[in-house]
């Protein structure tokens, strides 16, 4: 997850301005089609190992090169992963599903057809958050086509080069119902889907590397209408930001058309993030007739009770459920709960800290509040989303520090310094407090806090006078003086109490 995805989110339904266009009388209707590369060892229909970034065409065999006579055989683990995804999304898992051939000519398609699923997919229905799932199906990825210009053997002609390493990588295609109502919501929902898939361990879900790819179907309709307008398809938006910008741009374009009384044409659009412009790829009518028919080289795919049980056992608690548990059972703020739960490593670290928390007044909310503090300190340019478990601060140490703050053994400001010291050198927070002399000044055990309060009053008699006269705001400069003098070690509440006592305003 990038830092941008961590931004606080506005989850209110969209009204008013959106993407620069006034949207008072139309509402957008958005559905997503997401392709997810599965993290199996081998390809969907052959035993070639998956790879990324290797020299071209070294992970191929007769099957994934589409050589004459070669045949596909289904990868059992890819099926298991698809079942896990279906279970995580609450889909109905088909005990028997069918692979079809989807025919189209393109150099990235070695057989002239893609083996995919059509009318009987492996998973149907389901829901993630408040968005319904239409279907989830298995298919194979295409090869990679790299444009090389005129450097090929044939001069005066624009060339591309095909690399079949990626060809045949198992893909799961998740199709949502058109339940999304804003680009922002689409972004958030895709984020949730992504963390869910990551938690399942079935994919790297990395948009930069193409293991997560998203198309969006966008239409608009008059607010209050339940009919669907003509939709356009936005292809391969390769980052969360582009998805949001692309969808916003398309909503704006369609709204402008509607306002001008012009029809929306059903077409596939390509979003150029550089210019923000949408260009048509092809028009649906003239375009593709995929000639789907059952793949005769394969037999029906079965998901047995045993496979289902095994998949169920492998589905961990998923981010949405975890966030809900943090919120309901631990009392975390919804945003904090999601921020932790949507990054499994943060949530795991948090739960480890909870388990190690000392007896005493410290609450789960207080411990949770320390996690972003820690993440901020260990984040770097090289690692924008560091895992706290990899840092020098053990979950137990963080819990102990939170416990010390709650027990007023160390002030909040001093504790931040302790945390910085722990990040640098590790160890036990109590030892750091001792070593650095950062223990809280309470005024009761002869640590000189009372004397410092007295010198504060002496240094600013004006403020003391105002306070005595009933102007409670005047206490500010006095507290500030004490805090400066104690380098933040004093407990704020105790300082206020002492000042009021000394000035005589009880």
Partner 1 sequence: MLDRAQVLHVARLARLELDEEEVERMASELSKVLGHVDRVRELDLEGVQPTSHAVDLAGVMRADEPIPCLTNEQALAEAPEPVDGGFGVPSPGPSGE
Partner 2 sequence: MSELVELTAAAAAAKLRAREIDPGELFDAYRARAAADELNAFTWVAESARPAAETPLGGVPLAVKDLFCTEGVPSQAGSKILEGYRPPYTATVVSNLDRAGAPLLGKTNQDEFAMGSSNENSAFGPVLNPWDRGRVPGGSSGGSAAAVAAGLAPWAIGTDTGGSIRQPAALCGIVGVKPTYGACSRYGMIAFASSLDQAGPLTRDVTDAALLLSHMVGHDALDSTSVAFPEPIALPSAERLDGIRLGVPEDLLGATGAAEGTGIDPGVMANFEATLELAQQLGATVQPCRLPHAPHALSAYYLIAPAEASANLARYDGVRYGLRVAGDADLETMYSKTRAVGFGPEVKRRIMLGTYALSSGYYDAYYGTAQKVRTKIAEDFRAAFADVHFVVTPTSPWTAFELGSKTADPLAMYLNDFCTVPMSLAGIPAVSIPSGLSDGLPVGFQLAGPAFSEGRMLDAAYALERAIGFDGRAARV
| Residues near Mg ion, by CB under 5 A | 173
Verify binding: residue 328, partner 2, rule CB under 8 A.
no
Verify binding: residue 150, partner 2, rule CB under 8 A.
no
# chain residues binding Zn ion, by CB under 5 A? 5
Residue 260, helix vs strand vs coil: coil
**Min separation Cβ 152 and partner 1, Å:** 5
Residue 368 has, within 13 A of its CA and on its CB side, a CA count of: 19
Verify binding: residue 245, partner 2, rule CB under 8 A.
no
Check: CB of residue 139 under 8 Å from CB of residue 118: no
**Min separation Cβ 172 and Mg ion, Å:** 9
Check: CB of residue 41 under 8 Å from CB of residue 49: yes
Which tokens go with 103?
A: 């025919």
Tell me the CA distances in angstroms from 295 to 36, 113, 117, 233, one per residue in order. 22, 10, 9, 27
Measured CA to CA, the distance from residue 52 to residue 47 in angstroms comes to: 16
Q: To 10 degrees, what angle do helices 183-200 and 240-259 make?
A: 150
Measured CA to CA, the distance from residue 68 to residue 57 in angstroms comes to: 18
Measured CA to CA, the distance from residue 331 to residue 151 in angstroms comes to: 62
Which tokens go with 369?
A: 């509040």
Check: CB of residue 293 under 8 Å from CB of residue 101: yes
Binding positions for partner 1, rule: CB under 8 A: 40-42, 46-49, 55-62, 65, 73-79, 96, 104-109, 114, 142, 145-148, 151-154, 157-164, 235, 268, 270, 281-282, 289, 291, 294, 296, 298-302, 304
173 binding partner (options partner 2, Zn ion, Mg ion, none; Cβ < 5 to 8 Å by kind): Mg ion
Ramachandran angles phi, psi of 220, nearest 5°:
-130, 160
Verify binding: residue 386, partner 2, rule CB under 8 A.
no
Site string for Zn ion, 64-83 (x = CB under 5 A): x-------------------
Instruction: Pick one of 4, 22, 58, 73: the residue that binds partner 2 (CB under 8 A).
Output: 73
Beta-carbon count within 10 A of 300 CB: 12
Q: 289: which residues sit within 8 A by CB, 6+ positions away? A: none
Which residue in 27, 17, 421 sits closest to 219, CA to CA?
A: 27
**Min separation Cβ 142 and partner 1, Å:** 6
Verify binding: residue 72, partner 2, rule CB under 8 A.
yes
**Min separation Cβ 237 and partner 2, Å:** 25
Partners of 280 in the beta sheet? 269
Measured CA to CA, the distance from residue 163 to residue 172 in angstroms comes to: 21
70 binding partner (options Zn ion, partner 1, partner 2, none; Cβ < 5 to 8 Å by kind): partner 2
**Min separation Cβ 80 and partner 1, Å:** 9
Query: Buried (b) or exposed (e) across 238-271, using 16+ Cβ within 10 A?
Result: bebebbbbbbbbbbbbbbeebeeeeebeebbbbb
Q: Closer to partner 1 at the Cβ: 53 or 55?
A: 55
Site string for partner 2, 28-67 (x = CB under 8 A): ----------------------------------x--xxx
Which tokens go with 333?
A: 């703020």
259 binding partner (options Zn ion, partner 1, partner 2, none; Cβ < 5 to 8 Å by kind): none
Q: Closer to Zn ion at the Cβ: 46 or 332?
A: 46
Q: Closer to Zn ion at the Cβ: 66 or 492?
A: 66
Q: Closer to partner 2 at the Cβ: 11 or 284?
A: 284
Measured CA to CA, the distance from residue 44 to residue 80 in angstroms comes to: 12
Verify binding: residue 112, partner 2, rule CB under 8 A.
yes
1 binding partner (options partner 2, partner 1, Mg ion, none; Cβ < 5 to 8 Å by kind): none
Verify binding: residue 110, partner 2, rule CB under 8 A.
yes
Check: CB of residue 136 under 8 Å from CB of residue 91: yes
**Min separation Cβ 63 and partner 2, Å:** 8
Check: CB of residue 191 under 8 Å from CB of residue 132: no
Q: Closer to partner 2 at the Cβ: 65 or 356?
A: 65
Q: Closer to partner 2 at the Cβ: 47 or 90?
A: 47
Verify binding: residue 74, partner 2, rule CB under 8 A.
yes
Verify binding: residue 107, partner 2, rule CB under 8 A.
yes
Ramachandran angles phi, psi of 391, nearest 5°:
-85, 180
**Min separation Cβ 344 and partner 1, Å:** 23
Q: Closer to partner 2 at the Cβ: 26 or 113?
A: 113
**Min separation Cβ 257 and partner 1, Å:** 21
Instruction: Pick one of 9, 56, 77, 103: the residue that binds partner 2 (CB under 8 A).
Output: 103
- Applying the rule CB under 8 A, the residues between 174 and 233 that interact with partner 2 are none
Beta-carbon count within 10 A of 385 CB: 14
Beta-carbon count within 10 A of 504 CB: 9
Verify binding: residue 105, partner 2, rule CB under 8 A.
yes
Which tokens go with 184?
A: 């922002």
**Min separation Cβ 42 and partner 1, Å:** 5
Which tokens go with 365?
A: 């909310």
Binding site for Zn ion (CB under 5 A): 46, 48, 61, 63-64
Q: Which residues bind partner 2 (CB under 8 A)?
A: 62, 65-74, 101, 103, 105, 107, 110-113, 154, 156-157, 162, 289, 291-293, 296-299
């Amino acid at each position: 997850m990038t830092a941008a995805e961590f931004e606080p989110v506005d989850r209110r339904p969209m009204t008013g301005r959106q993407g620069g266009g006034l949207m008072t009388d139309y509402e957008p209707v958005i559905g997503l089609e997401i392709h997810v590369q599965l993290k199996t060892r081998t390809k969907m229909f052959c035993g070639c190992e998956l790879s990324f970034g290797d020299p071209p065409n070294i992970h191929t065999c007769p099957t994934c090169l589409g050589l004459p006579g070669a045949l596909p055989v289904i990868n059992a683990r890819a099926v298991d992963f698809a079942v896990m995804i279906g279970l995580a999304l609450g889909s109905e898992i088909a005990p028997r599903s069918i692979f079809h051939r989807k025919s189209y000519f393109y150099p990235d398609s070695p057989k002239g057809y893609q083996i995919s699923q059509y009318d009987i997919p492996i998973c149907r229905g389901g829901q993630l958050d408040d968005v319904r799932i239409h279907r989830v199906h298995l298919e194979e990825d295409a090869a990679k086509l790299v444009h090389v210009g005129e450097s090929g053997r044939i001069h005066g002609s624009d060339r591309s080069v095909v690399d079949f390493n990626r060809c045949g990588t198992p893909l799961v295609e998740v199709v949502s119902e058109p339940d999304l109502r804003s680009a922002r919501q689409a972004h958030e929902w895709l984020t949730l889907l992504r963390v869910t898939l990551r938690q399942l361990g079935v994919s790297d879900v990395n948009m930069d590397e193409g293991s997560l790819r998203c198309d969006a179907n966008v239409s608009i309709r008059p607010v209050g209408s339940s009919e669907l307008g003509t939709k356009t398809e936005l292809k391969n938006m390769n980052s969360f930001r582009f998805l949001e910008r692309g969808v916003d741009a398309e909503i704006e374009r369609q709204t402008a058309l509607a306002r001008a009384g012009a029809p929306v044409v059903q077409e596939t659009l390509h979003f150029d993030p550089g210019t923000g412009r949408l260009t048509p790829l092809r028009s649906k009518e003239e375009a593709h007739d995929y000639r789907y028919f059952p793949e005769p080289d394969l037999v029906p795919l079965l998901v047995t009770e045993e496979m289902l049980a095994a998949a169920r056992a492998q589905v961990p608690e998923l981010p949405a459920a975890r966030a809900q548990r943090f919120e309901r059972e631990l009392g975390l703020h919804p945003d904090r709960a999601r921020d932790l739960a949507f990054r499994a490593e943060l949530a795991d670290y948090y739960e480890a800290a909870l388990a190690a928390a000392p007896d005493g007044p410290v609450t789960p909310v207080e411990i949770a509040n320390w996690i972003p503090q820690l993440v901020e300190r260990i984040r770097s340019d090289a690692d924008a989303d560091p895992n706290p478990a990899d840092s020098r601060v053990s979950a137990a140490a963080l819990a102990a520090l939170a416990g010390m703050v709650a027990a007023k053994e160390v002030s909040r400001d001093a504790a931040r310094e302790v945390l910085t010291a722990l990040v640098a050198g590790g160890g036990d927070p109590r030892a750091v407090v001792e070593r650095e002399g950062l223990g809280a000044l309470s005024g009761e055990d002869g640590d000189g806090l009372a004397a410092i309060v007295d010198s504060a009053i002496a240094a600013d008699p004006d403020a003391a006078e105002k306070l005595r006269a009933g102007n409670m705001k005047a206490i500010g400069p006095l507290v500030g003086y004490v805090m400066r003098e104690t380098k933040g070690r004093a407990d704020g509440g105790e300082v206020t109490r002492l000042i009021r006592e000394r000035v005589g305003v009880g």
